[in-house]
Amino acid sequence: MAFGILYDYLMGQTIEAYRYFGAHFVEQDGQHGVMFRLYAPMADDVSVIGEFNGWDVRTHKMNKVDDAGVWEIFIPGLADYQSYKFHFKNARGEYVDKADPFAFYSELRPQSCSRIFDIENFIWHDDEWLKRRNRCEEEAMSIYEMHLGSWKGKIYDRYPSYEEVADYLIPYLQEMGYTHIEIMPITQYPFDGSWGYQATGFYSVDSRYGNPKQLMSFVDRMHQAGFGVILDFAPVHFANDSFALREYDGTCLYEYSDPAHTLSPWGSAQFDLGKDPVRSFLMSAMNFFIEYFHFDGIRCDAVSNIVYWDGNKANGENYGATEFIRRLNGKIHYAHPNVMMIAEDSTDFTKVTTPTEYGGLGFDYKWDLGWMNDTLKYYSKDPIYKKYEHNKLTFSMAYFYSEHFLLPLSHDEVVHGKGTIINKMWGGYDQKFALVRNLYAYQYAHPGKKLNFMGNELASWDEWNENKSLAWNLLSFPKHDSVKRMCRDLNLIYRAHPALYREEYNPERFAWTMVDNNDQSVFAFERRFGDEVILCVFNMTPNYYEYYDVGVYEEGEYEEIFNSDKDVYGGWNQYNGLPVTAYPGGNLEGRPLHICIKLGSFAAAFFRKKTPEPAPKPKPKRAKRK
């Protein structure tokens, strides 16, 4: 088995390299100890140094077991949490100390040693969840993106543990109606301000929040409570710290050797995704978190920097990197048919979510960053000028069916001076709140899965800071608390109505009923599934309409199931109480029928076509007695 994994590792074909490399507890010659294995082809005179041998480079010399550059040694009598590094002479003749690329655990920064940890034998309780887990194509999926350390903030100047976060997070998710969480990277990283996107240990669970089994417990509890867990993973680049992967054996073992591509646009080292061992290293890392931690999906960061050299289309496709992505998604889906692979991709690269057997990259979903950018620009415009930007709200449906899109309002939109979501809205205090309610309603009405970063539901004015808690005190102010209540209700409405999520990637399930009204900046569309029809209407200006005609396709009564202008959401309470009836005519963009509704300032309203009650069955006649 070991030889097979090593061969496949060198050929770029394994997703189980962690079973061979790293530090594993084993029994050998009747002794219990740890087998260390290292891949460092150009290293020489390799030792394991650690607290168990007083960091003496002479005590535990490793043996080179083949010409591929694999070194190993068995050391009996070791225990969990003992720190270690590899000491060796690199290709430049320099003696260096390096962390284990396959370490399962590491010291808390600023310390940089790897730690021995037995990751086996965790007792799981999520069998029922795993049996019904799927990729959610025909289910509602509302994702709560979060940074574990800053959701509730530090406790006595330390980050909360995985279990401490779970204690508060589970009841909050149950209250709010989300279906999944997506946690920002928790592979070991030294610099807090990188948020995990510049890692040093790609198998090492972030020690800020605890050890690997504490993370397993976190996921296990989420599953028992009914929530999926998606891991954000950065396969493009890694931190430059000298103890980690950079020039690991004195050569560019993991990064590009071409100086034009060695560094990423972020200044970090860039993985050479055309090298087969690097492919195996990263594919195995993602599979490791699926296998050992039961993650339900992997979100691949910065796919634009994979498909194009340096993320620039003008530089052309990086064919070695796109082959890596196809191989990754193909192998993960073969091993785990019910696990999602999600691309954070800002390019117009085609077939991102087309299966690999049909020439695609094989992702299940792609973040619709075009929708996000166009939408936020539109909501920031003065209503006087919105008629000139009308296509920013209609363009997304022109390309929506080309991929399986997910609609993100993510952490990237609330940092680096961009302002928070509510700060991006046009107008004064009341107008901003009205528009942010309209925006969230639009996101939930639009086809595509949903993702919101933590704090969006609070309508926070302060940009996210990884070192500070969310501004939970805002909930003592009615306006902010009302936005949170509306976000909860949107989740519940979304999950309760199949027309809002079933077959959403089928163009027959969506129809504009008002798309060309740029003068008034009012939009309307229908979502359909089976007998259910939901009409969604959006007024993008402060104009109030006591009577407003909207075209529809089907006759009958329409009852209002949501209105962002209700006072419980902080609005002016201009809503439709009683059902409205569809009538012929109206000449509204050629629609055969119309309904007349009350349409509040900056209001969003959802109407559900009432299904006629089935006629009661006649009672059987009783036979007359003779």
List residues with catalytic annotation.
301, 344
Q: How far apart are CA 473 and CA 494, in angstroms?
A: 28
3-state secondary structure at position 568? helix
Dig out the tokens for 401 from the structure: 């069916």
408 bridge partner residues:
451
State whether residue 542 is helix, strand or coil. coil
- Rounded to whole angstroms, how far apart are CA atoms 602 and 438? 7
Cα separation, 89 vs 43, in Å, equals 6
Read off the tokens for 336. 């785990």
The 3-class secondary structure across 10-79, one letter per residue, is HHCCCCCHHHCCEEEEEEECCEEEEEEEEECCCCEEEEEEEHHHCCCCCCCECEECCCCCEEEEEEECCC
**Ramachandran assignment for 421, one of left (phi > 0), alpha (psi -120 to 50 degrees), beta (any other):** alpha
Scan for tokens 């088995």, then name that residue: 1
DSSP assignments along 90-128, one per residue? -TTS-EEEE--TT-SEEPPTT---EE-----------HH
The pair phi, psi for residue 308, each rounded to 5°, is: -120, 145
CB atoms within 10 A of CB 311: 18
For the chain, the helix, strand and coil percentages under 3-state DSSP, each to the nearest 5 = 30, 25, 45
Q: Are strands 31-39 and 22-28 parallel, antiparallel or unpaired?
A: antiparallel
Q: Whose structure tokens read 């000491």?
A: 87
